[in-house]
Amino acid sequence: MGGEALGTRASVVWDVLRGVLAARAADTGRDRLDVIDAGGGTGGFAVPLAALGHAVTVVDPSPDSLAAAQRRAAEMDVRISAVQGEAAGLDSVVGEAAADLVICHSVLEYVDSPADALAAVARVLRPGGTVSVLAASLAAAILHRAVAGRFADARALLDRAGGQSEPGRVPAGAPVPHYFTLPGLGALIEGAGLYPGAAHGVQVFADLVPSVLVDADPGAAEALRSLEAAAATYPPLRDIAARLHILGCR
């Protein structure tokens, strides 16, 4: 996938995050907000957020990823804090009521207990704070396997999902990664004592469009971004997006 398409993937999420940050700044009167990126890896979200003037802490279990995030920050002449730790123990790493915004992107798929991870995130949020959750879609995982000719794998995932104990989530004890639906993510957020906010589909089309069609034509890239933005909130398309984005609010 080329650069233009990769930009298209993140544009919907960035639009939502900018709105969240602007609203929080207006509510608190603080332009510099405290942001924690749980499982932030090499700083793909953390560094641009720090460049906007926010105090950003990346928490990740990988020392190599944290070092790469620090290098990326140095290249952009911004500062971030980098702390080694797990999402499920986030509150013990950064403290309770420490954040205006927690980024929890591509994390719940790989933790032993998504419910425990979100409970830790909830303890880190201040009153009025928000968690941004981005997770792999169950419907897309089945669809993409079928389209690739992996019919048995698609059927196995569908059958496995059919016995789940939580709405929209592969049951506890199933092999990681977990896959989710929006109702399942909403239930996890509510179980953590938060209330679900805006929900969007991310990468409805971007993974299906040949990169040559996008990279060779800037007009096509912009048209794809516009199409993704429109599809992100249209339920029949939103729900089959490759990833699902939902806010959890305290």
- Running DSSP on this structure, what letter comes out for residue 108? T
pLDDT in tens, 111-161: 989 999 999 999 999 999 999 999 999 999 999 899 889 999 999 888 877
Residue type, 61: P
Domain residue ranges in the chain: 3-136+179-249
The topology (CATH level 3) of 3-136+179-249 is Rossmann fold (3.40.50)
pLDDT in tens, 47-104: 999 999 999 999 999 999 999 999 999 999 999 999 999 999 999 999 999 999 999 9
SS (H, E, C) 198-246: EEEEECCCCCCCCHHHHHCCHHHHHHHHHHHHHHCCCHHHHCCCCEEEE
Cis peptide before 177 (omega within 30 of 0): yes
The share of the chain scoring above pLDDT 70, in percent, equals 90
H runs (alpha helix) in 53-172: 63-75, 90-94, 114-124, 138-147, 151-162
SS3 at position 1:
coil
